[in-house]
A and B are shown apart, each in its own frame.
Chain A
């Protein structure tokens, strides 16, 4: 198993954010995580990457068999884990070329930055010398973030809502990039609340109240999500028996 999250809990400001969470992502998987806003999806992404000094209160995060729960962000990245932010940072004075080139420095990188930029629907001629600053739209910035991850070619990429703010026409491009990434050998943990995105995965997990309450076939998990979670029927109190009965999946 490439990523094995075992019984992880996290409390912030006396509030339980993750509560005994378990998750497994295999080498070569595209694994989507579904859940409504506020169930802890982005916090899970931050914890896996070690952002903001986050460390689990309990449990283990095994990456390629090694516990990375206390490793720095850099160590995690050099082992082959990275994250594409939902709202990526802007950088004054750093061009797209500089930014993508930085991703080439470590690991198993794919240095063809022009091709990677084209893949996310941006013309190298128009974008390579532009700055990665506030003059780019949110959509452009997210595409560049994806291009950076493609360039880095990590073992596991956590993509935090890469479809956020992207129209349906562009969705095909984004899923194409994720598939390409996967074919290049990158497993993908895809955080989303969009069913059509979740369906591109070969495995899906459903999060509720800081827990993974089901994992299985994306079609079944998204159907349950549509039926029970789009309008949450049991706020902050996951219906563990219900989901188990309906999906007959492991909890």
Chain B
């Protein structure tokens, strides 16, 4: 496949996952486009520096945002594998300078996957009073032959904010294995939101750990997983209240249908008497009253369940 047809294919895949492909060619928007182990596009803008290196199995990326930079538009990241089979390993370093305010929209698309492995390893440093929001959406084709392993290790400086939103609700998940750990400094905020819908024989595994190391640090994990068919979900969240006046909360809702199974393990560790960490966990089926309400408006039972599940994962 030549460059332009490959770019076109990955741009189409990008749109399947909800992105706007026009932005990938805009000079005004910072963007990075990776197909397999090829970097098809890399656009820097003032205050945003990117370097990439193709490796045998994927790409290494270094991304630095200068201190004090405030971006009006998100940085767009597009990762994908177009063939039915492949391996893509993205190893990245994100360095968000002090006081910078930046948002990332990452779209990962594997529309034809039958046997694709997608590994993301990110090291993130969010500087003092800086803010980074990272939203990642996946689109997998109907075969769901994708193994996805996003792994993030982040540190957030004093007064900084790191918000991560991960969404995988379109197409078939395949095998998802999320592994996030974040260390929060004084008055820093860390928030992980994860939404996934496992179907058929999919597996959804989530492991999220937040260390509230600095005084008055605040952390939140919010995990919504729906599993139907014979899918299985396994959610492990851990929050450490290690400094005075830290606050943390973990909220996990897993909805199971058909013969699906779900497991949730919240772990709280507090070593400081003024710290407070709470958790809520619920595993249950789709609420019957919600379904009946929608059926009383004329929806079939399957349509009603879909509406309830889509709402939960929105």
**Interface of A with B (CB < 8 Å)?**
49, 51-52, 72-74, 76-78, 82-83, 85, 88-94, 98, 102-103, 105-107, 148, 152
Grouping DSSP codes into helix (H, G, I), strand (E, B) and loop, the B interface class, with mixed when no group exceeds half, is: helix
Tell me if B297 and A102 are in contact (CB < 8 A).
yes
Tell me if B297 and A152 are in contact (CB < 8 A).
yes
Q: Give the one of B295, B312, B313 with max A CB within 10 A.
A: B295
Tell me if A73 and B292 are in contact (CB < 8 A).
yes
B283-298 at interface with A (beta carbon < 8 Å): 287-290, 292-298
How far apart are the CA atoms of A192 and B312 in the complex, in Å?
33
Tell me if A72 and B312 are in contact (CB < 8 A).
no
- Which B residues lie within 8 Å of A102 (CB)? 294, 297, 299, 307
Tell me whether A91 and B311 are in contact in the complex, defined as CB-CB below 8 angstroms, given that A52-B288, A74-B300, A74-B301 are known contacts.
yes
Tell me if A107 and B289 are in contact (CB < 8 A).
no
- Which B residues lie within 8 Å of A91 (CB)? 290, 307-308, 311
Tell me if B299 and A105 are in contact (CB < 8 A).
yes
Interface residue total, chain B, C-beta cutoff 8 A = 21
In-complex Cβ contact of A74 among B287, B290, B298 (8 A): B298
- Which A residues lie within 8 Å of B296 (CB)? 49, 73, 76-77, 82-83
In-complex Cβ contact of B295 among A73, A85, A107 (8 A): A73
Q: Give the one of B296, B307, B308 with max A CB within 10 A.
A: B296
Q: How far is the CB of B304 from chain A (nearest CB, A)?
A: 8
Tell me if A77 and B287 are in contact (CB < 8 A).
no
Tell me if B298 and A93 are in contact (CB < 8 A).
no
Tell me whether A85 and B293 are in contact in the complex, defined as CB-CB below 8 angstroms, given that A92-B311, A94-B307 are known contacts.
yes
Q: How far is the CB of B196 from chain A (nearest CB, A)?
A: 14
How far apart are the CA atoms of A9 and B195 in the complex, in Å?
46
How far apart are the CA atoms of A82 and B310 in the complex, in Å?
23
Tell me whether A92 and B298 are in contact in the complex, defined as CB-CB below 8 angstroms, given that A52-B288, A73-B292 are known contacts.
no
Cβ-closest chain B residue relative to A149: B297
How far apart are the CA atoms of A83 and B290 in the complex, in Å?
13
In-complex Cβ contact of B313 among A51, A72, A93, A98 (8 A): A93
In-complex Cβ contact of B311 among A52, A94, A106, A107 (8 A): A94
- Which B residues lie within 8 Å of A82 (CB)? 296-297
Interface CB pairs A-B, < 8 A, 21: A73-B295, A76-B296, A77-B297, A82-B296, A85-B293, A88-B293, A89-B289, A90-B290, A92-B311, A92-B314, A93-B311, A93-B312, A93-B313, A93-B314, A94-B311, A105-B297, A105-B299, A107-B298, A148-B297, A152-B297, A152-B298
Tell me if B293 and A78 are in contact (CB < 8 A).
no
How far apart are the CA atoms of A74 and B301 in the complex, in Å?
7
